[in-house]
Structure 1
């Protein structure tokens, strides 16, 4: 998803890193050349310095300008304006040939083995009743966030399918759910270590997707017409979430500290 906005991001990043989370007054300042993005939506990494990210983006843009063309896994009906801006700014042909997962006949691949029993469970649920919760293969959370998410989902009484990777928690901390959680959600919720995401999102029982908004996940959700609850973590995910809420209007971001009552609501 990131290259779609590359025409303006390097310049914005050269102005300096995003303010810390304590500088709330600055976080919501708009980036005039990159509407509807705000300062808080700028690309950042939890493992690389700001200067490294800025240099990397500048190198990508320069490489694009020296190329014969650039291929994106997106489609014109979704991002016509953005694609035209990229075309105008880099001066090479732009080819939007996505969504690739819908047109490729190749087998699905995954770094993790999916638990396909969740598809049988979905077959038993009512149409568009299930919230699919998955934060991708890299995003992580701390123990408190995990507890609040678990209790919020349980208290909502909404059917859910939740992907909890073995390494979902920061560091090497072992994943543990609240006491009584399994009993509380028995019959309404299912937890798996990994899921066949494209098939899940295409299942008639799924009515919503709580996602980290990586571009693959975002595009897969859009392709299946599934609205999103957005919780971006790093890189281009904040940009994608902002577009989901403000431009395409097919979901909204869950901002701030995760709290069980807000999740339940």
Structure 2
């Protein structure tokens, strides 16, 4: 009997706890889909805030719990409020989650008993509840494995780190992959933020107490880092990414996707379009918007540009800000602007030859898997790590650093899309795509890690 058949025979149920922001909802629902396809029943537990679309997942049970946040279902929260938001969600959700778990454990039928709690690492209250109820708790990292190591190195508020602080900093120079990421700079610069340090300490303690850790990454992308993470946490680590390639296609976007851009892409030459999207949470001022518009127009490259409502501080959308001369150039067919795009479909399109991105981890993996080189403009948090992976470790992209200025933007786009430097970068990107495809195939690293994860859950 296969592991999948064994799971179905026992009717094992997994409770999946989702952190309510787009970059976390997507991979957690993809992971739930993967586990469901391997025979597990799925209950998705989520805060009321930013509730995911249930209709796209008819085989799942969805349960919302009060979170104490706004009931307006706002799509994003300011990056500066993230630490406070994470703390508030964990504080407010723990008690109702425990009540819910106690109820289902009392009422459950033996054939459908709960096999464990799988939770986004930011929802660390779930591990405390799992411990209290003597259930396995599995933490999920939706960012790079390198962020796990960085969390463990950060000092506690009392001055101590989970890894001896000075020892860990010296270790970073001894591992080429970690040295190229400049983790030392990130760790030292962030040490001045007490709220951030306290949050990272809690997240790391939770990870160390989990029965296992799932990371949305591919082994070859972070091979040296994964070795250090395993040494640090001493719990099973399962790099089974990229989730979006292992899960059947289904949208969990909180924003409506404009599929008309695909028809526009169909009319463009192969690998000629620069796709521009800065994710679901970043924002810019009016001057930055105008500089980007001018840089795109002056580059003379076709472009597909996502300008999300609310991404520009001030007016509701770009059409209130961009000059008439810009719109005239767009109307000539060289540009397409949408409020939100079906990104995986866009990146897989043959007309797309480059991706100017904020370097969120989901976007980075999606670009790697389609062999699309990147222009990197990280804004906050783990995006800086992703950018350094792209540009300094894998060398499949260029950094767009400093103040955004139209001449710099024009030059960066042409370096990536036209110059010989960009040709070499594109070749390396296509090489990573081939490696990623192999890892997802039978006996590839992600395929094997998934089988090991299923066995781990069944044996818990």
Same fold flag (TM > 0.5):
yes
Q: Structure 1 residue 258 and structure 2 residue 404: aligned?
A: yes
- Structure 1: any 5+ residue segments left out of the alignment? 16-30
User: Does residue 179 in structure 1 map to residue 324 in structure 2?
Assistant: yes
Larger radius of gyration: 2
Deviation at 1:59, TM superposition (A): 1.2
**Could you tell me which of 138, 141, 146 is aligned with 2:289?**
146
Structure 1 residue 37: Cα displacement = 3.3
RMSD of aligned residue pairs (Cα, Å): 2.2
Match of 2:149, SS state, is: coil
Provide the rounded CA distance (Å) in 2 between the counterparts of 1:204 and 1:142. Answer: 32
Aligned mates of 2:187, 2:294 — CA distance in 1: 31
Deviation of residue 245 (structure 1)? 0.6
- Aligned match for 1:188, one of 334, 339, 359: 334
| 1:88-99 to 2 correspondences below 5 Å | 88-99=231-242
1:34-82 per-residue CA deviation (whole Å, 9 max, x = no partner) reads: 422346645999xxx9212111111111111111110011111211111
User: Equivalents in 2 of 1:43, 1:104: separation in Å?
Assistant: 38
Find the aligned partners of 1:169 and 1:13 in 2 and give their Cα distance.
35
1:35 aligns with 2:179: yes
1:132 to 275, 285, 310: 275
Q: 1:152 to 1:123 in 2, by over 3 A?
A: same
Would you say the 8 A contact 2:144–2:215 is kept in 1? no
**Alignment pair present for 1:51 and 2:194:** yes
- 1:223 is aligned to 369
Q: Write the distance in 1 (CA, Å) between the matches of 2:189 and 2:349.
A: 34
Residue 13 of structure 1, CA deviation:
5.7
C-alpha separation between the residues in 2 aligned to 1:68 and 1:12? 22
> Residues 11 and 4 (structure 1 numbering): CA distance in 2 closer, same or farther, change over 3 Å?
closer
Q: Quick one: which of 243, 254, 262 aligns to 1:119?
A: 262
Q: Which has the larger share of helix?
A: 2
Partner SS, residue 311 of structure 2: coil
SS in 2 for 1:35: helix
Q: Note the residue ranges of structure 2 that are not aligned, 5 or more in a row.
A: 1-142, 158-168, 173-177, 412-460
Which residue is equivalent to 1:20? none
1-side partners of 2:292 and 2:233: how far apart? 43
Choose the corresponding residue for 1:161, options 292, 304, 312: 304
Quote how far apart the aligned CAs of 1:123 are: 0.5
Once residues 43 and 90 of structure 1 are traced to their aligned partners in structure 2, the CA distance between those partners, rounded to angstroms, is 21
Q: How many residues align?
A: 247
1:153-175 deviations in Å (ceiling 9; x for gaps): 00111000000011111356653
CA distance in 1, matches of 2:386, 2:282: 15
CA distance in 2, matches of 1:253, 1:96: 27
* Corresponding residue for residue 21 of structure 1: none
The 1:109/1:76 distance shift into structure 2, 3 A limit, reads same
SS in 1 for 2:180: coil
